[in-house]
Amino acid sequence: MLNKIKSIAITVVSFVCLSFIGATTSYDSSYVQISTVKYQGSSYNVIYMDRGGSGKRIKAKYFAAKDKYSGKTVPQRYHAWSKNKNIICASSGTYMNSFDGTASTTKTVGLTIDNGVVVNQEIKQNTMDGLVIVYATGGIVATDLKNKDLKVQGGNISGIPLDLRGNSLHRQSFLEWGKDNQVTVFQTHLLVYDNKLKISSSNSSSSSRERRFLAVGNDEDGNLIHCVIHSAANTTLYDGADRVLKFLNNFKDMSVVFMVNLDTGAQDVLKVFDENGYVMPKLKGQKTIDESVNLLVYYYE
Amino acid sequence: MDKSKTLFIRLFIFIVIASSVGFLILSVDNTEFKDVIIQNYQEERLDISALSYDTNDVYNSFPYKEFLQKINHADVRAISKYEEELTQRAGNPFVSQSVLSQALTNKLHLERTRDLDTLNAILVWADKYKVNEANSSSNALMYKSIHSHWYNYVANHLDELSKEKSSIKYDFKFRYLIRKCNENKFEVMGETSKIEKVVTNVIDQRWSYLFYRFWSSTSWKFKAILFSVAGIGLVLVLFGFKYIQITYLNRKKDA
pLDDT in tens, A202-247: 888 878 888 999 999 999 999 999 999 999 888 899 999 999 999 9
In chain B, what residues touch A120 (CB-CB under 8 Å)? 185-187
Residue B119 placed within a domain: yes
List beta partners, residue A287: A269
Residue that terminates a domain, selected from B183, B218, B243: B183
Q: Are residues B62 and B134 in the same domain?
A: yes
Q: Which of B130, B119, B129 is nearest to B175 (CA)?
A: B119
Q: Which of A274, A201, A276 is nearest to A240 (CA)?
A: A201
Instruction: Give the chain A residue nearest B98 (alpha carbons).
Output: A169
Low-confidence ranges of chain B (pLDDT < 70): 1-5, 24-30, 41, 43, 111-112, 133-136, 190-191, 255
Amino acid occupying residue B49 = S
Residue B42 placed within a domain: no
Q: What is the helix, strand, coil percentage profile of chain A, to 5?
A: 20, 35, 40
Picking from B170, B181, B187 by the largest number of A CB atoms within 10 A of its own CB, the best residue to mutate is: B187
| C-beta atoms of A169 and B187 within 8 A | no
Instruction: Give the chain B residue nearest A268 (alpha carbons).
Output: B209
Q: Are residues B155 and B232 in the same domain?
A: no
Residue that terminates a domain, selected from B183, B210, B237: B183
Q: Are residues B94 and B207 in the same domain?
A: no
Dihedral of alpha carbons A256, A261, A262, A265, sign: positive
Q: Are residues B156 and B216 in the same domain?
A: no
Q: Are residues B148 and B231 in the same domain?
A: no
Q: Are residues B143 and B233 in the same domain?
A: no
Q: How many CA atoms lie within 13 A of B19 on its CB side?
A: 6
| C-beta atoms of B209 and A119 within 8 A | no
CB B214 within 8 A of CB B180: no
Q: What letter would DSSP give residue A126? A: S
ipTM (interface predicted TM): 0.80
Separation between Cα atoms, residue A119 and residue B185, nearest integer Å: 6
Q: Tell me what pLDDT residue B28 has.
A: 64
Instruction: Give the chain A residue nearest B154 (alpha carbons).
Output: A122
Instruction: For residue B239, give how far its alpha carbon lies from the nearest alpha carbon of chain A (Å).
Output: 39
Contacts of A138 (CB under 8 A, 6+ apart): A56, A58, A59, A60, A61, A301
CB A273 within 8 A of CB A89: yes
Q: Are residues B56 and B166 in the same domain?
A: yes
Q: Are residues B94 and B145 in the same domain?
A: yes
Q: Are residues B221 and B138 in the same domain?
A: no
Kindly report the CA angle at A259 between A147 and A42, in degrees rounded to 5?
145
Q: Tell me what pLDDT residue B221 has.
A: 87
CB A95 within 8 A of CB A157: no
| C-beta atoms of A121 and B142 within 8 A | no
Q: Tell me what pLDDT residue A203 has.
A: 81
Q: Are residues B178 and B208 in the same domain?
A: no
Contacts of A232 (CB under 8 A, 6+ apart): A43, A45, A210
Residue B41 placed within a domain: no
Domain count of the fold of chain B = 2
Q: Are residues B124 and B149 in the same domain?
A: yes
Residue B37 placed within a domain: no
Separation between Cα atoms, residue B62 and residue B53, nearest integer Å: 5
Instruction: Give the chain A residue nearest B104 (alpha carbons).
Output: A168
Q: Tell me what pLDDT residue B46 has.
A: 80
Residue that terminates a domain, selected from B140, B156, B183: B183
Q: Which of B177, B85, B67 is nearest to B127 (CA)?
A: B177
Amino acid occupying residue A132 = V
| C-beta atoms of B187 and A122 within 8 A | yes
Enclosing H/E stretch for A58: strand A58-63
Q: Are residues B176 and B72 in the same domain?
A: yes
From first to last of its 301 residues, what are the pLDDT tens digits of chain A?
A: 556 767 666 665 555 444 444 445 689 999 999 999 999 988 999 999 999 999 999 999 999 988 888 889 999 999 999 998 999 999 999 888 764 444 556 778 899 999 999 999 999 998 899 999 999 899 999 999 999 999 998 888 889 999 999 999 999 999 999 999 999 999 999 999 999 999 988 888 878 888 999 999 999 999 999 999 999 888 899 999 999 999 999 999 999 999 999 988 778 899 999 999 999 998 998 889 998 889 999 999 9
Find the domain containing B62 and state its range: 48-183
Dihedral of alpha carbons A292, A208, A239, B192, sign: positive
Q: Are strands A270-273 and A209-218 parallel, antiparallel or unpaired?
A: unpaired
Q: Tell me what pLDDT residue A17 has.
A: 47
Choose among A118, A166, A234: nearest Cβ to B185.
A118
